[in-house]
């Protein structure tokens, strides 16, 4: 789960990370009022979307007058901001963050991520702030510092000081950078985050260290114990299909292909997508219906998959253990009777009550294409999708 910049800064400030003064606004008038309340002579008006690279896309406006604040808010609010991270569809801008724009001398990078391969938290820092870390890792990997955190003791102050000195900061700046680094780590740990990124972390002329921008992502599975964070979710920034899937407790990830997948088990879903690619096709989604694939759950899965207008065929691949093939077959038949399925449907059933499930499909009288193996099912799905697209 992702949150907006202003929300991330609010959370980080609660853990002692210094941030510039700012406030969120939902209208141009509110943006101007916020600027007057903040005071100062320069302000940044920032589009609040779940994406980086907003500055390059025109999503951050620097303003010197209240009139410019009003004009910036009017330009941003209500538009869809397209960045290199959003894709061509962009993300809707429903709020802006008005922040005091203070002059600074240096831009640094600070990131804290969960390294799943190492099974450790990894702190990443660089004196080259303001750049995409992926770009920096490719062009100048020697400029990136990394510290692996020992889970038994957590990030230690000496490690934070090591990072701060490595960034080339002076003594006064080091102590303030350590406060920011330790605070960001505590926020990461205590809030079940999977990523905290402060880019840039800036150094001002009077030696303050401020989080000028901030991004945070969280573990969805931990949100039951992080209700304050869960309440920050903004469905307008998410794939509508994934929002719909969450309402039905389905594990769904939208992709760019044209073969819709309804599968039980994450491993089988991954194998199915690989087999579709091997057969020359492209999956339109990852969808794991789980172990309890009741007829109603299967029907909801069909509705979800068909909400993607790019789908040219649907492949149902079930290997029943805890699940039952006859339940799934009933769900498939129910979905075909209740929903207008205008694309080819390929079904492969194996495991518990396999023969009963196949009998239900066979005797339904519906134009369902059956397959005995995963390879056969994938090939039939690819062929059917191509034929449907050509018709």
Question: Which residues are marked as active site?
Answer: 109, 197
Residue 57 DSSP class: T
Is 99 among the annotated ligand-binding positions? yes
How many Å apart are CA 318 and CA 294, to the nearest integer?
12
CA distance from start to end of the chain: 40
Is 46 among the annotated ligand-binding positions? yes
Length of the chain: 391
Q: How many CA atoms lie within 13 A of 350 on its CB side?
A: 11
Cis peptide before 235 (omega within 30 of 0): no
Residue 59, SS3? Answer: coil
How many Å apart are CA 204 and CA 139, to the nearest integer?
27
How many Å apart are CA 283 and CA 386, to the nearest integer?
13
179 contact partners, CB below 8 Å, separation of at least 6:
16, 17, 18, 209
How many Å apart are CA 355 and CA 117, to the nearest integer?
41
Distances (CA, A) of 81 to 74, 93, 215: 13, 7, 17
Is 68 among the annotated ligand-binding positions? no
Residue whose C-alpha is closest to residue 242's, from 194, 304, 315: 304
Cis peptide before 200 (omega within 30 of 0): yes
Is 199 among the annotated ligand-binding positions? yes
Is 251 among the annotated ligand-binding positions? no
Distances (CA, A) of 258 to 244, 276, 286, 312, 380: 19, 11, 12, 5, 13
How many Å apart are CA 358 and CA 165, to the nearest integer?
67
Going by their DSSP bridges, the two strands 313-320 and 259-263 should be labelled as: parallel
In the annotated binding site for Mg(2+), the residues are 199, 213
In the annotated binding site for ATP, the residues are 46, 99, 102, 107
In the annotated binding site for substrate, the residues are 264
In the annotated binding site, the residues are 46, 99, 102, 107, 199, 213, 264
């Amino acid at each position: 789960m992702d949150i907006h910049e202003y929300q991330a800064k609010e959370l980080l400030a609660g853990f002692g990370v210094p941030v510039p003064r700012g406030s969120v606004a939902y209208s141009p008038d509110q943006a101007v009022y916020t600027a007057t309340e903040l005071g100062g002579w320069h302000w940044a008006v920032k589009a609040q979307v779940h994406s980086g690279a907003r500055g390059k896309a025109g999503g951050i406006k620097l303003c010197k007058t209240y009139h410019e604040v009003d004009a910036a808010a009017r330009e941003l609010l209500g538009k869809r901001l397209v960045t290199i991270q959003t894709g061509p569809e962009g993300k809707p801008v429903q709020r802006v963050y008005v922040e005091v724009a203070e002059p600074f001398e240096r831009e640094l990078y600070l990131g804290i991520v969960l390294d799943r391969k190492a099974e450790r938290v990894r702190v990443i820092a660089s004196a080259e702030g303001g750049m995409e870390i992926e770009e920096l890792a490719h062009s100048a990997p020697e400029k990136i510092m990394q510290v692996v955190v020992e889970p038994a003791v957590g990030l230690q102050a000496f490690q934070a000081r090591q990072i701060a000195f490595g960034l080339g900061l002076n003594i006064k700046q080091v102590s303030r950078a350590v406060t920011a680094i330790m605070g960001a780590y505590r926020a990461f740990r205590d809030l079940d985050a999977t990523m905290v990124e402060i880019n840039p972390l800036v150094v001002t002329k009077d030696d303050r260290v401020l989080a000028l921008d901030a991004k945070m992502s969280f573990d969805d599975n931990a949100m039951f114990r992080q209700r304050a964070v869960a309440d920050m979710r903004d469905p307008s920034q998410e794939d509508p299909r994934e929002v719909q899937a969450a309402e039905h407790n389905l594990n769904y990830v939208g992709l760019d292909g044209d073969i819709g997948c309804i599968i039980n088990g994450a491993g089988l879903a991954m194998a199915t997508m690989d087999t579709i690619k091997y057969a020359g096709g492209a999956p339109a989604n990852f969808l794991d219906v789980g172990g309890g694939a009741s007829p109603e759950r299967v029907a909801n899965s069909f509705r979800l998959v068909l909400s993607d207008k790019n789908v040219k065929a649907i492949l149902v691949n079930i290997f029943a253990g805890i699940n039952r093939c006859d339940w799934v077959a009933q769900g498939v038949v129910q979905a075909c009777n209740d929903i207008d399925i205008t694309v080819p449907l390929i079904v492969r059933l194996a495991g518990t009550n396999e023969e009963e499930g196949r009998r239900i499909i066979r005797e339904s009288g519906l134009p369902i294409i059956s397959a005995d193996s995963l390879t056969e099912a994938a090939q039939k799905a690819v062929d059917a999708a191509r034929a449907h697209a050509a018709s």
